[in-house]
């Protein structure tokens, strides 16, 4: 869908410059079909007010955002994704460190119980 939206403006400009419009439509039927599919998907989601990025793109309900707004929203989402991946990586490293500590404590406590030493220490 994304490539079809980007291709369409170029295709539209070329369409208006061509003299034989029927042959142009026949030659570019795939691009036109992709655009029509993307447009129908957007229209169906706009009518239902269920665009997934409604909070990021500030458009009036029932309107399709323009390509510039969509690209800006995509840049924001990619930036947020990079930030969240960094947070996730840090949290995963902390989890792994805590898991190693837990396993070490379990090993120490199980060794005490096997050797018959009373583990009178409560954790």
Q: What is the pLDDT of residues 57-102, one digit of tens each?
A: 666 666 777 788 888 888 999 999 999 999 999 999 999 999 999 9
Give the model's pLDDT for residue 84.
96
**Consecutive H or E run containing 10:** helix 2-17
Helix/strand/coil percent split, the chain, to 5: 75, 0, 25
- Tens-digit pLDDT profile for residues 107-117: 998 887 766 55
pLDDT of residue 35: 84
Per-residue pLDDT at 2: 44
Q: How many residues does the chain have?
A: 123
- pLDDT, one tens digit per residue, over 13-46 is 777 787 888 888 888 888 888 888 888 887 777 7
Residue 1: the pLDDT is 41
Looking at residue 81, its pLDDT comes to 95
The pLDDT of residue 112: 77
- The pTM of the full predicted model, rounded to 2 decimals, is 0.48
């Amino acid at each position: 869908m994304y490539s079809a939206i980007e291709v369409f403006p170029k295709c539209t400009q070329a369409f208006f410059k061509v003299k034989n419009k029927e042959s142009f439509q026949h030659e570019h039927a795939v691009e036109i079909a992709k655009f029509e599919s993307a447009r129908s998907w957007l229209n169906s989601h706009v009518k239902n007010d269920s665009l997934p990025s409604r909070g990021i793109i500030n458009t009036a309900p029932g309107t399709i955002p323009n390509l510039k707004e969509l690209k800006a929203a995509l840049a924001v989402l990619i930036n947020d994704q990079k930030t969240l991946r960094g947070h996730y990586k840090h949290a995963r490293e902390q989890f792994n460190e805590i898991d190693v500590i837990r396993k070490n404590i379990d090993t120490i406590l199980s060794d005490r119980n096997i050797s018959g030493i009373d583990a009178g220490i409560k954790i």
